Amino acid sequence: MDTIFTRIIKGEISCVRVYEDEHTFAFMDIAPAARGHTLVISKEPYPQLTDVPADVLAAVAQTTKRVAQAIVLALHPDGFNIVQNNGSAAGQTVFHYHVHIIPRWQGDNALQHWPPGSSDAAELQELADQIRAQL
């Protein structure tokens, strides 16, 4: 599978690299939602979270934590979002597993949070039962 991210890893497309190890690669997002927006990707091109082997997923999580800590120390944001989209309906545009680290400052309006929905206990129980049956 060839994606823009595999081309970045191969050096065919330039990027501003932040970190790299055996399984992961972190670089600055070229269309940032906020100052310091960084992407962490798996070096292997898995389309989405459900396709990623556990060891690679753990490596991406470790790199995400490491880079997030560095962003906090370097930029002093008031907080940060960790965003990971799966499927076009969820906003995924590059089908290569990746995590967004988006630094946030009070009042920046960089991301709009989803509006809270409503539910009832019976519906929540039914949904939980359906999900649990698949585990």
Domain boundaries, the chain: 4-134
Active site (annotated) includes residue 23? no
Contact 102, 37 (CB under 8 A): yes
Query: Residue 110 pLDDT more than 80?
Result: no
Contacts of 53 (CB under 8 A, 6+ apart): 46
pLDDT, mean of residues 74-84:
97
Q: Is the pLDDT of residue 80 over 80?
A: yes
* Burial classification of residue 17, based on how many CB atoms lie within 10 Å of its CB (0-12 exposed, 13-18 middle, 19 or more buried): exposed
User: CATH number of the domain at 4-134, please?
Assistant: 3.30.428.10
pLDDT tens sequence across 24-55: 999 999 999 999 999 999 999 999 999 999 99
Confidence of residue 109 (pLDDT cuts 50, 70, 90): confident
pTM above 0.85, yes or no: yes
Checking if the pLDDT of 115 tops 90, the result is: no
Q: What is the pLDDT of residue 118?
A: 86
Catalytic residue among 23, 37, 96, 98: 98
